[in-house]
Each structure stands twice: as C-alpha cells, then as structure tokens.
Amino acid sequence: MRISSQSIQQINQAIDIVEVISDFITLKKRGANYAALSPFTNEKSPSFYVSPSKQIFKCFSTTIGGDAIKFVMEIDKLSYVEALKYLAKKYNIEIVYDKVELNDQEKELQSEKDSLFIVLEYATNYYKNILSSHPDGIAIGKTYFTERGLSDKTIADFELGFALDGWDNLLIDAEKNQFNKELLQKAGVIKVNENNKTFDFFRNRVIFPIHNSTGKPIALAGRILGNDKGTAKYINSPETELYHKKDVLYGLYQAKQSIRNSENCLLVEGYMDVLSLYQAGITNVVASSGTSLTDAQTKLISRYTKSVVVLYDGDKAGINAAMRSTDLLLDSGLNIKVLVFPDGEDPDSYVNKVGATKFNEYLKNNAKDFITFKTEILLKDCENDPVKKSKVVREIVISISKIKDSVQKNVYFKLCSQLLNIEEQVIIFEHNNVTVEIEKKKLQDKLKIENKENIEQQPTQEQIDENEKYSLNLSEISITDINSISEQEIIRILLEYAEDQMDEDNNIHQFLFTYLENIVFEDVICAKIIAIFKAELAENKLPTLNYFLNHSDKLFESKLTEILTDKHEISDVWFDKYQIFVPAKDADKVGLVNKSLARLNFEKLRKRLKDNNLKLRKFDSEAIDETENLLQENMVIKQYQQIYAKELGIVIGG
C-alpha cells in the first residue's frame, strides 16, 4: 500500500526543518538562516545552510540539498517511505495508506532498504520478547542483565534481548511470519554454511541491537554467556547496506540529546560501558563498539559537540587505544580530555563499584587534557635517554600540529614546554618542521592523484581539434555563466512569488509566461523547469517547490536548493565588474520582475552580439550578403541593449 497524499501533506505541514535537522547536527543562527559543518563530509568551515523561510537545506560541499524529508533520507540512508514514517512518528501523525497497489518501480524502490529495516525490527522484537517472556530468556538472559545492574527501563530503552540455545529458533518463527530465507540472510540474522545448511546467526547470547541516529535497528550484536575460549565473546551481524561498523557509534540515538545539552560526549569502548553509565544517569555516552575509533565515528561526534572525554580501561591495551584515538579526534577539530581508570577497572565496573556521584567526581578530578596525558605516558618509557625524549617531543608536537585554533595551540606550546622541561621556542621550531613535512606530503599525494587522473584522462587528438574549433575566450565563458544566473533568477521568482499580483489583470506567473513565450533558456535544468511549469499551468495546476524537490529527476533538487539558499550576501562585484544589478529579495516584486526580465534580455542580446562578431571574423571578403545581414542585426541589437541598459541603470558604449 502507498502512503496517502493527505498524510504526506500533513507531515509536510507539520515539519519545522530547523527542528528536524537540529536532532542530528548543531545549527548556528546566521542572519535569517542557519549554518553548520556539513554532516556529509569532513570539513573545517561551515558549508551547510538551512533556510527556515523556504524550509530547505543546502550543503555546498557535496551539492546535496532539499527539504527535511530529503535530509532524513540522506543522513541515515533511509528510503522516502522510511523518512516519512520517522517524521510522522516525531510529529505524532498517524499515517493513512491508500488501498492502491504499488507499481513495479515503486515496489522495487520501497523494498530495497525498507525490507532490511523490517527484518531487523522483527529480529529485535523477537529477541526482546524471548528475554521478557520465554522461561529460558528470563532465567538466563534477564538474570544476566539484572546481575549487571540494569533496570527494566534501561533494558527497554536499548531494546536488549536474548537468543535461545538452538540452531533455528528465529528461522522457524520468521518463516511462520512470511519472511523468506534470502532476506533473513541479507539482513545478517541467519547464515548458510558450505553444506547449504541454514541456521540462526545468534545462539545462546544476550542481544544488543545497534540503532541508527533515528532510532531504527540496523544491526545486532551478541555476547556469549559461557566461558568457551574457542568462541568469540562478542559477535556482530555482518555488514549490510544499512550497517557499516566503522560509521556507527553504539548508543548515539539514546545519547544525542544529552550530548548536545551537556556540550560534551563521553567515549567508551564497549556496550556494557554505555549501558552501565546510562543506568547511573550519565547519559551523554557512546561507544566505538569494540572497534578502533574511525574518522567516520569522530565525525558523528562532531555533529553534536566539540568536546570529548575518552574513557578507557587502565590496562596497557586501554591506554594504547586512548593514545590512538586522540589524534583522530584532533583531526576532526574536537577538544579532548582523557580519563584512564585504575588498573583492572573499566567504566562499567567502576561506576557499579562507586556509584554515579563518585564516578562524576573522579571524572572531574582526573580527566586530563590530551597533551598532559600523552606526555606522562610517553615519558614513562624515556628515563633519561635524550634520544627517546626527542622522539617524545616529536610525538607530542605532531598531535599539537593537528589543532586548528592558534590560541589553543599556543597554550599547548607553553604546557608542553613545562611538562618536558624544554624551551618553548624549541617546541615551536619542531612544530614548524613537522607542519612543513605534513604539507609537503599532502602536496606530493595530491600531485600523485592529479598525475594519475591526467594520464587516465588524456584527450584524443580528435577531441583537441574539436575544442580548438569551438574555443571561446574568457569573456565568452563569463557571459554564458551570467546568462545562466539571469535564468536562475527567473526560476527563483516563479518559485517564491508566482501567485503574487503583478498588475490588475495578471499575477506574476501569468505575466512571466506571457513575456517568456519565445525566449529559449540555455541552462538545461532551468529550461526543464520552465517546460514543467507550462505543462502544469496548461492543466490549471501551479507546481510548488515541494513538487520539484520530490520530482523523479533529482537534478532539480540540487539546482533549486542552490538557487534558493542565501549562502552569501550579494557582492558589489556584480555591478562594478559586470554592470549587473541584482535586486534584494525583499524588494518591490513588480520592480524585481521587470528588472530580472530586463537583465535576462540584456544578457541574451550581449551574447548574441558576441556570437555575431565571432562569425564576422570568420567571413571572407566574398561573404558580402552575410556580412551585411549580421551588421544590420548588430545595429538592432545595440538599440535594444540601450533600452534594457537604461532600465537597469547602467551605461554601455555606443
């Protein structure tokens, strides 16, 4: 069945795009809009913009843009239907379905990821029910969690479960519920061995569902309860289209609001560390799920806060893991502290041992900035060996070089100097050497990539000849670009002011389409939008921004969000360099339309004049008729140019 158009409309009307996106990243007010670091790429300067008035976003780093539905789809790789369901749940809207069969294309699009979500939600509920209602689930699984100090609320919040000891308990139940084996295997909840025997992936294990940031299960992890040394203590369901281990932080869905509110994230290693701290009321905690921290995971953290405290075990493995993590976190522009527990303790055991109050006191009193932590650890192996000490200096300086804030960097120079008992200038000198080496390596890597691309993309002689044949100078290229901007301005006016009144007889879209009847748009996407407008208007329908954002041609989405997003103020260069007046968007709309049409015509005439002059240069002395025709046309063009120039308030040569 298909979600009804009334439900989709109801969801769209309820959505506040700032509110939706703020659930995933931290937005900062910038004029009438909001800005943030892109959640889709690793960057140091904001290129992600949200317009509350238009209810759209635009990421200039990746060209991704659209409405709130599109954002939810992109941020968690959801289908359109799943994104609608998420937003309906957020705004307490009951979805109504049309009793209409989906066509083959719709079924295919809906089934690709939706089916995996459905299977994983089924498996999560299955294991939850075993834990709460099956005798073995209660006696074994529930007892284990209770003995670890977890309450019913924590168990419910994280949807914990239990897998019975048997080869095919889930498989039998799943087939009863009409799930096919291929789909179950694809979701990673059953396995097929080399003898074609099918069995459950999880057996006799407590289950930890892994959620995406919208709260949907995307994978499962299981912990064995016995002491079989030949069996892995923890196993995760295989990677799928929904789940890539390096891109996921356990507990992020439950922790994200607390992280944002506290402006701090506690980073631990394991599932039980997260659960025990959460149980103690320390809810701003996530785990790297037993894997070494990755770039993608640090990027996830940076969506919600700039401050991280790394909490690792006090043994050698935990200390080494903390050391590795600090540089990765610094690369993401995060402020880092490190807390190492007494030997033999981890966050889980320590909070259960001392309680939340003393745990927080220990955190406050013992968390060290990363330089102090790293210096103390590295100096332990140094003794009085000057060679080893010089290596320590270099290690510390490499970490400092990753800091982007110059004031913060200078503070660490001083601190490093004090801790290592070395003059500050020596630290700075070594830092400069390290920075030069890093930049040199970056440049070498860039050149290698460019050289490889150049070799792979060498043009053929035929392509070279073709380019030379139709080559234009820089002024020709800039005119084409300006012409495109003029066309985009017309599209913007249509989308923002189509129904506003132009004069007594016409609204703006009626006036524009009468005027544009014989004008050909050169920008391909703008031309398509104009064609769609004409077709819809012919049927007495006026297409809206949402119509284009949800159109099957996804090129509209990127183009329109770019046209409509105010990334920068209009520069004076447009007038000073190109003599182009770009009206303010809150200007008189009638004047705006007239100026925009004048500008469009002026640029088209300018380009026509340039084209004619190119042709004139190519004609020989025998092409008298063609030459006279073009010269005559140029005279007419210049007369019209003067008319439009006067309307635009610019002066051009005769």
Residue type, 18: V
Within-domain flag for 314: no
Task: Give yes or no: residues 46 and 124 share one domain.
Answer: no
Task: Give yes or no: residues 584 and 636 share one domain.
Answer: yes
Q: What is the pLDDT of residue 654?
A: 52
Three-state secondary structure along 123-151?
A: HHHHHHHHHHHCHHHHHHHHHHHHHCCCC
Within-domain flag for 298: no
CATH classification at residue 86? 3.90.580.10
Task: Give yes or no: residues 413 and 513 share one domain.
Answer: no
Low-confidence stretches of the chain (pLDDT beneath 70)? 1, 99-112, 290, 383, 446-483, 566-587, 619-623, 651-654
Domain boundary among 243, 270, 305: 243
Count Cα atoms within 13 angstroms, Cβ side, for 422. 19
Within-domain flag for 293: no
Q: What is the pLDDT of residue 575?
A: 52
Within-domain flag for 148: yes
| Domain hosting residue 49, numbered range | 2-98
Task: Give yes or no: residues 629 and 520 share one domain.
Answer: yes
Task: Give yes or no: residues 427 and 482 share one domain.
Answer: no
Q: What is the pLDDT of residue 468?
A: 42
Q: How many CB atoms lie within 10 A of CB 521?
A: 22
Distances (CA, A) of 186 to 108, 171, 492: 16, 13, 45
Within-domain flag for 339: no
Within-domain flag for 303: no
Candidates 365, 367, 379, 283; CA nearest to 326 is: 367
pLDDT in tens, 195-252: 889 999 999 999 999 999 889 999 999 999 877 777 888 999 999 988 999 999 999 9
Task: Give yes or no: residues 419 and 504 share one domain.
Answer: no
Distances (CA, A) of 15 to 8, 75, 76, 273: 11, 16, 18, 36
Domain boundary among 98, 124, 140: 98
Number of domains in the chain: 4
What DSSP character marks residue 203?
-
Task: Give yes or no: residues 640 and 547 share one domain.
Answer: yes
Residue type, 495: L
Task: Give yes or no: residues 30 and 145 share one domain.
Answer: no
Task: Give yes or no: residues 202 and 82 share one domain.
Answer: no
Within-domain flag for 91: yes
Six-digit token string for 57? 């976003």
Task: Give yes or no: residues 134 and 65 share one domain.
Answer: no
Six-digit token string for 92? 């307490």
Calculate what percentage of the chain has a pLDDT beyond 90: 29
Task: Give yes or no: residues 28 and 88 share one domain.
Answer: yes
Count Cα atoms within 13 angstroms, Cβ side, for 210. 29
Within-domain flag for 498: yes
Distances (CA, A) of 225 to 136, 153, 269: 13, 22, 19
CA pseudo-torsion sign 264, 266, 271, 275:
negative
Integer-rounded Cα Rg, in Å, for the chain is: 31
Candidates 350, 353, 321; CA nearest to 338 is: 321
Q: What is the pLDDT of residue 472?
A: 30
> Helix, strand, or coil here: 186?
helix
Candidates 155, 85, 86; CA nearest to 127 is: 155
Q: What are phi and psi of 653, to 5 degrees?
A: -70, 160
Distances (CA, A) of 418 to 387, 411, 413, 426, 512: 19, 11, 9, 12, 71
Domain boundary among 192, 224, 243: 243
Please say whether the beta carbons of 338 and 368 come within 8 A.
yes
Distances (CA, A) of 208 to 167, 220, 227, 271, 273: 19, 6, 19, 8, 13
Q: What is the β-pairing status of strands 217-224 and 234-236?
A: antiparallel
Distances (CA, A) of 72 to 23, 91, 198, 209: 10, 14, 35, 21
Distances (CA, A) of 158 to 207, 213, 216, 253, 336: 10, 13, 11, 9, 27
Six-digit token string for 557? 């989405």
Burial 75-84 (b: 16+ CB within 10 A, else e): bbebbbbbbb
Q: How many CB atoms lie within 10 A of CB 634?
A: 15
Task: Give yes or no: residues 129 and 33 share one domain.
Answer: no
